[in-house]
Structure 1
């Protein structure tokens, strides 16, 4: 009977390891909203009914009329960025404070929250001053003249921007300081360096100055990825989308100790399995007891942990059995000793009769058969679930795809199986990752027919990603151009479809252009690449009955093959517009620095939005500067600085030195003139991409204008690129003689030509 009991214990443990479904939410009170967009709302915080939060000081408001929804403190209106239970902190957006046009400043910074519940963390925050030519000081309000203050100096230096935008903060245009004491109110003072000369030797500018200061989590401020958006917004708030600060604020339950809270029946530790710990000099904190996890501030918030199934199990070298709040560790059947020590269980001397041995042996065999049956059943259930899931996604995505494709036969020919793509990428191994963009991660794969391909996989299973991927299939299935990346097909057996492209081996135009070496792409290559991009965009805008607008043209989305031929990629944000329409109103998508300001202000998308982005690329080719991060000494962005230089006849002062050495002055002036017309603030005053293509064509030498000799053109005219025969009236960059300009396809010819690749 002892053997049977041990065998039953083994069986119970095996069944306990089988995953079970649990939908219990231990963050919020049952029936209350636990999230606002992507922010979790744990009790004692809450929104809605009074039962959802502890009291008014913890009430929040989720503004769903904003898109995406934004969470605010209900009383003071601060935006909530994050809430943590352990440690007890809340990250708030305390906003940017601008000080404009004075020679000195004195004001107070206040956190408008209940002092008994919230207190700014001096240890985790820094006060940051952006601007130059002053000393910045922070002190407690009401402190005397001799009281110590936290200070930092920000100087002005010739050739440096007044506010850096590269994430640095070393005393030139930016400085920060820490405070030594928690408080919800501080005195802020800024004086120019000439008034502080008695205590400082820092050089500075006299007279009125502008400054901006914020309170930010010190750990975040020292990371470039967090500092750059804050600096960019402080430098040009009118042209950059607002960004929140991350001010760290402690939250508490007043000033009482654990004993005082229990005696007054006002303890915030509401879970039966929670523990209260004093935190001098203010308040107390709650935590779940050993063996429990969850939210100690709400009833039944602490749940038992199954220690035996944890990824980091407790030290037990025998049989681990979970109990409420703890676990037991026993030696396996037939052994005895200390199971918590390695090799601590040794065989025991049992005097069993033949009957007991036979019963034990029979029970063991029965249990083995039972376990084997469970394993087989679980595998079959798992395989069946995977098959049903793939069939569901295939039906859903195929329907979405067919809604956007005219020819169903084209959609069927484009489909890859998930198993084929997993074999091609070694189950999407990290070593096969090529990089990623705004619409997914790209992996290198080798198909069974030895074709090398690039496979794009979404990072997030959200409706927008599904729509973007389906949109990219529908767009690229209509495109056949030597300067547009080829789409071989897609896999519809995942929640978000996988896209299979031709593999482009030589990286992006952005990587080739912005190298650390003084020499980059030659002027001849830059002219040719600009023409190839213009050809592809002219083709997209007038290729078929549906005009295609890319909407995210930038150097990072221009791929280069081994001959540095340009290939436009990443069509996830693209939109098709019927030929009888000139625009469409849609949500804003694109990349800062390349985004059409007229589209950004009105939401009205036209072909001229791509023209503006192409104009930015021309400026980037001429100046070799990054549009998203460049700020001139005068504080203007790349486009404004370039336009001013052209209008003031100072073009050579802003050109890349390599362009000055290799290009004729007339060539650079002509390309600059093309760029300025593309960057016109009014879309209707910009040229079409066809007109831009013709002007760039005129810049090419006779050898450059074709990109290959006559024999190559005859050969491609017969067979087409990638072994395809060109469609009559198709892309003239490889389909005939004439002026080498792009021409439109018919919709039917586009579809069948795009599907003529071998599978």
Structure 2
């Protein structure tokens, strides 16, 4: 039985690079487009192969669109890209449908009495393809099955169960024996896994096999045989599932940049136009025929005029249709003439009475206006009622009354129109960043007040019911190193949050942004102290303890003075008070995620401590937390650091900018603290309060002019173990005074 423990989860993903890695480079140019070259087939078996795709490198626009036409069992010819069978290519949509052998399975083996796990993966990085988040879904099948997919910056899955329900054949996948989750945007790579804590041998009689797959949602319908029989789902799809991939021509910053590269611009047909693609990770473009034309825009004269009069039912009705380039015109048939856009019989012309017709027309127009106004009023009432329902669902009345009862409370409940106006109707130009929970926009209110507006994607039912109460608690957070929550908007389906605007970017950008500036150890230590103090406040000093849940350097912002401000705590949870608040879906960021949380799915304050330990290691080493391109043992920064500490190789992984500073004892103390934070067992980690006090003590030592003169005596006084394994502020100043006296007497 293959084990996939949390400590190996990130390392296993390296194997996805063995087979599907594709190199996307431009092919040699030719005098004519490849689709017009003699000997280039336009079909493989029953599948059309339109240019820019081609069978062989010389027939494709570049290597990214090179396909193989292969003879399969039975003698049929089928096109393949890597090991994926291509079943359909759409030029206007920029989509390709393929059959992928990516079914992750786990099955009970009677001969061994255990479970066998077979993970799945897909990797189309460094190619013109990415997985369509619109056409595909993540589907998990089985009883008591928790499965998930992991990618560069996502960890998404769901839990299906059969307890207390009767399984029925249904096209819907509702959680009983089958559950599903959305595919994240811009996905080019994923690994699929099962959580063995859920998937046990105890249910094999009712559910001998479980499956996890990412596939085209229109091609899936749930059947009970998938759960109750061995290999039921596998046999139904013959080991492969349909998947839809988006594609684009070239990695450029949209059409404006593509048109400047005239030698490689792909929209060569005269009646074609360029279209920006929606892949935010690697922008690019597609080509389409102009309105009124159809065909292939990637070859010369490939877009041909559509004869609307012949192709469709006559668009002119009984009148005469005349085709034009890109359009058509209608004219009256013999015996009729046109008046006000209507063809009228000529013989009725003499009996035409203008006044009754004008009166009837005016009456009709008035009636239409009245009906339109009534419909508009009705729609506005519906919209207002819907906003009121959302407001009540999110606890708006309770929150509004509490805000009014507290004098001087700056927390505000915003209207949707206010936030739309402040963000230019949530324009893409106002986007500050994308996260796992939503998109953040920059907003500007009247009076030049800058804010950050977070538009969340989803909210679960538990948080929806408790949202107003949680806002009451979050609105009372007042700490100089925490981004201030200014208000929220509750009259929408998913509430929006409004924060103060922090101008100087993130700690991640400061460390890894290649800006050329030297970041001193004292600056790094100060940012660490301020961030730790903010998390200590959330854990210990807030009216209700708050668990951040996603501590990472991108969520630590820097203000005008480069002071740290912890952000994104609006996506956090209040500390659970009973078992009903148990979290069943692991969410977080690769490289920072607490391995104990991944095993138990239970978020604690020690989960934040682990993530903060990764941030400390980032500050010491200047390395990113998770690097898929690094060697096997260096992909996870936390694991590489723990190995270096165990083998006494700390100096070899330190950032070059702090190696030359005369504070190696301070660096070693910080490293030792980070090691404690990264302990695999949460109970062995220090609390955030203990971490803050330790870092604060180290920072005060660095500021004293005598700190370098008698380090050993200073450390024996300042860092001698206490009963609580941490130094409180009153105790610190007492020890500090003893240290100063000892050094003065030593002189």
Q: Compared with structure 1, are the counterparts of its residues 353 and 387 closer, same or farther at alpha carbon in structure 2 (3 Å cutoff)?
A: same
- Structure 2: which 5+ runs fail to align? 1-14, 20-44, 56-68, 89-97, 102-117, 133-149, 153-187, 200-209, 220-289, 295-307, 340-345, 705-728, 734-747
Q: How far apart, CA to CA, are the structure 1 residues paired with 2:350 and 2:100?
A: 82
Alpha-carbon deviation of 1:379? 2.0
Counterpart position of 2:316: 329
Alpha-carbon deviation of 1:544? 3.9
Correspondence for 2:440 among 435, 439, 442: 442
Q: How far apart, CA to CA, are the structure 1 residues paired with 2:316 and 2:528?
A: 71
Q: CA contact under 8 A between 1:470 and 1:497: conserved in structure 2?
A: no
1:711-758: CA deviations, max 9, x gaps? xxxxxxxxxxxxxxxxxxxxxxxxx99979xxxxxxxxxxxxxxxxxx
Q: CA contact under 8 A between 2:539 and 2:546: conserved in structure 1?
A: yes
1:538 aligns with 2:525: no
- In the alignment of these two chains, the number of paired residues is 462
1:658 aligns with 2:646: no
Q: Compared with structure 1, are the counterparts of its residues 430 and 694 closer, same or farther at alpha carbon in structure 2 (3 Å cutoff)?
A: same
Correspondence for 1:394 among 385, 391, 395: 391
Q: How far apart, CA to CA, are the structure 1 residues paired with 2:386 and 2:87?
A: 56
Q: CA contact under 8 A between 2:438 and 2:454: conserved in structure 1?
A: yes
1:667-714: CA deviations, max 9, x gaps? 221111110011111112111111111111122257969xxxxxxxxx
SS of 2:673 mapped into structure 1: helix
Matches within 5 A, 1:231-250: 233=191
Q: CA contact under 8 A between 2:119 and 2:191: conserved in structure 1?
A: no
1:360 aligns with 2:357: yes
Q: Compared with structure 1, are the counterparts of its residues 178 and 536 closer, same or farther at alpha carbon in structure 2 (3 Å cutoff)?
A: closer
SS of 2:615 mapped into structure 1: helix
Correspondence for 1:373 among 353, 370, 374: 370
1:589 aligns with 2:562: no
Correspondence for 2:405 among 404, 409, 416: 409
Q: CA contact under 8 A between 2:555 and 2:568: conserved in structure 1?
A: yes
Q: How far apart, CA to CA, are the structure 2 residues paired with 1:327 and 1:462?
A: 51
Report the TM-score, using the length of structure 2 for normalisation: 0.51
Alpha-carbon deviation of 1:184? 11
Alpha-carbon deviation of 1:465? 7.5
Q: How far apart, CA to CA, are the structure 2 residues paired with 1:234 and 1:456?
A: 30
Q: Compared with structure 1, are the counterparts of its residues 488 and 237 closer, same or farther at alpha carbon in structure 2 (3 Å cutoff)?
A: closer
Q: CA contact under 8 A between 2:193 and 2:212: conserved in structure 1?
A: no
Q: How far apart, CA to CA, are the structure 2 residues paired with 1:250 and 1:398?
A: 37
Counterpart position of 2:430: 432
SS of 2:633 mapped into structure 1: coil
Q: How far apart, CA to CA, are the structure 1 residues paired with 2:651 and 2:603?
A: 34
Q: How far apart, CA to CA, are the structure 2 residues paired with 1:314 and 1:330?
A: 22
Q: CA contact under 8 A between 2:192 and 2:213: conserved in structure 1?
A: no
Alpha-carbon deviation of 1:524? 2.5
Q: CA contact under 8 A between 1:557 and 1:570: conserved in structure 2?
A: yes
Q: How far apart, CA to CA, are the structure 2 residues paired with 1:432 and 1:383?
A: 28
SS of 2:476 mapped into structure 1: coil
SS of 1:481 mapped into structure 2: coil
Name the Cα RMSD after superposition: 5.6
Alpha-carbon deviation of 1:586? 2.7
Alpha-carbon deviation of 1:553? 0.6
Q: CA contact under 8 A between 1:595 and 1:613: conserved in structure 2?
A: yes
Q: CA contact under 8 A between 1:476 and 1:486: conserved in structure 2?
A: no
Report the TM-score, using the length of structure 1 for normalisation: 0.50
Q: How far apart, CA to CA, are the structure 1 residues paired with 2:581 and 2:703?
A: 37
Q: How far apart, CA to CA, are the structure 2 residues paired with 1:326 and 1:687?
A: 75
Counterpart position of 2:606: 608
Counterpart position of 1:569: 567
SS of 1:455 mapped into structure 2: strand
Counterpart position of 2:693: 694
Q: How far apart, CA to CA, are the structure 2 residues paired with 1:493 and 1:540?
A: 28
Counterpart position of 2:305: none
Matches within 5 A, 1:97-176: none
Q: CA contact under 8 A between 2:609 and 2:686: conserved in structure 1?
A: yes
Q: CA contact under 8 A between 2:411 and 2:486: conserved in structure 1?
A: no
Q: How far apart, CA to CA, are the structure 2 residues paired with 1:120 and 1:219?
A: 28
Alpha-carbon deviation of 1:470? 5.3
1:616-663: CA deviations, max 9, x gaps? 110111112221335753435211110111121111111121221346
Q: CA contact under 8 A between 1:215 and 1:245: conserved in structure 2?
A: no
Counterpart position of 1:507: 505
Q: CA contact under 8 A between 1:630 and 1:638: conserved in structure 2?
A: no
Counterpart position of 1:454: 452
- Structure 1: which 5+ runs fail to align? 1-94, 100-118, 127-137, 144-149, 152-174, 187-211, 252-310, 316-320, 706-735, 741-759
Q: How far apart, CA to CA, are the structure 2 residues paired with 1:476 and 1:509?
A: 23
1:528-550: CA deviations, max 9, x gaps? 11110111111111104522211
Q: Compared with structure 1, are the counterparts of its residues 416 and 647 closer, same or farther at alpha carbon in structure 2 (3 Å cutoff)?
A: same
SS of 1:694 mapped into structure 2: helix
Alpha-carbon deviation of 1:370? 2.0
Q: CA contact under 8 A between 1:452 and 1:503: conserved in structure 2?
A: yes
1:157-190: CA deviations, max 9, x gaps? xxxxxxxxxxxxxxxxxx967899999999xxxx
SS of 2:642 mapped into structure 1: helix
Alpha-carbon deviation of 1:495? 1.4
Q: How far apart, CA to CA, are the structure 2 residues paired with 1:331 and 1:558?
A: 68
Q: CA contact under 8 A between 2:16 and 2:122: conserved in structure 1?
A: no
Q: Compared with structure 1, are the counterparts of its residues 361 and 703 closer, same or farther at alpha carbon in structure 2 (3 Å cutoff)?
A: farther
SS of 1:559 mapped into structure 2: strand
Alpha-carbon deviation of 1:469? 6.3
Q: Compared with structure 1, are the counterparts of its residues 417 and 655 closer, same or farther at alpha carbon in structure 2 (3 Å cutoff)?
A: same
Q: Compared with structure 1, are the counterparts of its residues 695 and 492 closer, same or farther at alpha carbon in structure 2 (3 Å cutoff)?
A: same
SS of 2:316 mapped into structure 1: strand
1:681 aligns with 2:680: yes
Q: How far apart, CA to CA, are the structure 2 residues paired with 1:600 and 1:125?
A: 44
Q: How far apart, CA to CA, are the structure 2 residues paired with 1:184 and 1:435?
A: 34
Correspondence for 2:627 among 626, 629, 638: 629
Q: CA contact under 8 A between 1:614 and 1:678: conserved in structure 2?
A: yes
Q: How far apart, CA to CA, are the structure 1 residues paired with 2:573 and 2:695?
A: 26
Alpha-carbon deviation of 1:556? 1.3
Q: How far apart, CA to CA, are the structure 2 residues paired with 1:389 and 1:234?
A: 39
Q: Compared with structure 1, are the counterparts of its residues 402 and 342 closer, same or farther at alpha carbon in structure 2 (3 Å cutoff)?
A: same
Q: How far apart, CA to CA, are the structure 1 residues paired with 2:54 and 2:404?
A: 59
Counterpart position of 1:522: 520
Alpha-carbon deviation of 1:613? 0.8
Q: CA contact under 8 A between 1:582 and 1:606: conserved in structure 2?
A: no
Alpha-carbon deviation of 1:408? 7.1
Q: How far apart, CA to CA, are the structure 2 residues paired with 1:181 and 1:234?
A: 24
Q: How far apart, CA to CA, are the structure 1 residues paired with 2:529 and 2:399?
A: 34
SS of 1:453 mapped into structure 2: strand
Q: Compared with structure 1, are the counterparts of its residues 511 and 582 closer, same or farther at alpha carbon in structure 2 (3 Å cutoff)?
A: farther
Q: CA contact under 8 A between 2:590 and 2:626: conserved in structure 1?
A: yes
Q: CA contact under 8 A between 2:415 and 2:489: conserved in structure 1?
A: yes
Q: How far apart, CA to CA, are the structure 1 residues paired with 2:100 and 2:377?
A: 64
Q: Single out whichever of 440-449 and 225-234 deviates more from structure 2.
A: 225-234
Q: How far apart, CA to CA, are the structure 2 residues paired with 1:393 and 1:643?
A: 48
Q: CA contact under 8 A between 1:216 and 1:246: conserved in structure 2?
A: no
1:367-411: CA deviations, max 9, x gaps? 2212222322232222222211222212222358659x9877359
